[in-house]
């Protein structure tokens, strides 16, 4: 195994994965980004991912066509005919949930890490302030990690830097790496495909802007909370 530290990041070009990318660039010798094209509603995110990966000079940026997911998973993010809703579906999940998405993404990212000789896969999923997606939970990530290690007989660690952070703390993390303005202006979180602060109406924009507003008005408190969580994670 190479002594060079390598990581593969699941990179959508959104707030969370862009924040994770800034952090990864500070901690690994090589960071390889992988972006998935599944015919998503906000297809502009692929362009933003390309722009940011080039701007940050990642070691490589692979864009994978996984349009088969679009054929199987019916969601507001895979069908333009389904409007994004603020109301949960009968099963208790938002209609932007794409079943199997992170199962597929982490599997392919793990295979790519194996190919590159990287022992770390980074993903920006979060259980604390998530959108109600079951595949953003810590238990799911641990199960996927175990399955990949066993299935490939390969030492692999899925790292989730945002798992226990709320959105305000995620903004604080970006600020910690002098990346707040880039994340705010150049990332794409909006379900309607608008870069930066977005449409201001969809659930993703709502969560993002509330977190930003809270951080900007309570910087010292939120940064302290972030540092406490980082220390606890390292202990």
Condensed to tens digits (0 to 9), the pLDDT of residues 158-184 reads 999 999 999 999 999 999 999 999 999
19 is known to lie in a ligand binding site: yes
């924040």: which residue's tokens? Answer: 19
pLDDT for position 71: 65
Ligand-binding site membership of 15 (annotated)? yes
**11 labeled binding residue:** yes
Tokens of 160: 């989730």
pLDDT, position 66: 83
Tokens matching residue 27: 């901690």
For residue 13, say whether it is annotated as part of any ligand binding site.
yes
Is 21 annotated to bind a ligand? Reply is yes
Q: Would you say residue 85 has pLDDT above 70?
A: no
pLDDT value, residue 86 = 60
Cβ count within 10 A of residue 222 = 23
Consult the annotation and say whether 12 binds a ligand.
yes
CA 206/CA 213 separation, integer angstroms: 11
225 vs 81 pLDDT, higher one: 225
Backbone dihedral angles phi then psi of residue 120, each to the nearest 5 degrees:
-130, 135
Residue 16 labeled ligand binder? yes
pLDDT above 90 as % of the chain: 69
Rounded distance, CA 54 to CA 201, Å? 30
Domain ranges for the chain, please list them. 6-234
> Beta partners for 122?
9, 159
- Report the pLDDT averaged over residues 55-65: 96
Query: How many other CB atoms are there within 10 angstroms of residue 88's CB atom?
Result: 12
With a cut of 80, say whether residue 39 has pLDDT above it: no
Q: Which of 32-41, 96-105, 225-234 has the lowest mean pLDDT?
A: 96-105
Q: Is the pLDDT of residue 27 over 80?
A: yes
Mean pLDDT confidence for 36-43: 75
Specify the higher pLDDT residue, 107 or 3: 107
126 marked among binding-site residues: no
Residue 203 banded pLDDT, cuts 50, 70, 90: confident
85 is in an annotated binding site: no
Order of strands across the sheet that contains 157-159: 60-65, 30-37, 6-10, 120-122, 157-159
> pTM of the entire structure?
0.90
pLDDT, residue 229, reads: 95
pLDDT in the model for residue 1: 46
**Any known ligand binding at 206?**
no
Give the domain 6-234 fold. Rossmann fold (3.40.50)
Q: Is 205 annotated as a binding residue?
A: yes
Is 20 annotated as contributing to ligand binding?
Answer: yes
């Amino acid at each position: 195994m190479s002594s060079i530290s390598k990581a593969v990041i699941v990179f959508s070009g959104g707030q969370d994965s862009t924040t994770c990318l800034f952090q990864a660039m500070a901690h690994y010798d090589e960071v390889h980004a992988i972006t998935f094209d599944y015919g998503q509603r906000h297809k502009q995110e692929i362009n933003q991912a390309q722009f940011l990966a080039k701007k940050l000079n990642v070691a490589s940026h692979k864009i994978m066509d996984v349009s088969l997911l679009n054929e199987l998973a019916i969601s507001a993010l895979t069908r333009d005919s389904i409007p994004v809703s603020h109301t949960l579906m009968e099963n208790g999940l938002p209609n932007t949930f794409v079943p199997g998405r992170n199962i597929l993404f982490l599997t392919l990212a793990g295979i790519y890490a194996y190919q590159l000789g990287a022992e770390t896969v980074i993903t920006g999923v979060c259980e604390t302030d998530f959108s109600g997606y079951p595949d953003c939970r810590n238990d799911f990530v641990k199960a996927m990690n175990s399955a990949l290690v066993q299935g490939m007989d390969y030492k692999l660690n899925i790292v989730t830097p945002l798992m226990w952070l709320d959105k305000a703390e995620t903004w604080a993390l970006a600020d910690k790496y002098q990346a707040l303005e880039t994340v705010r202006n150049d990332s794409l979180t909006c379900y309607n495909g608008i870069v930066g602060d977005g449409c201001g109406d969809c659930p993703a924009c709502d969560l993002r802007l509330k977190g930003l507003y809270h951080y900007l008005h309570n910087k010292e408190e939120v940064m302290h909370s972030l540092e406490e969580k980082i220390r606890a994670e390292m202990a």
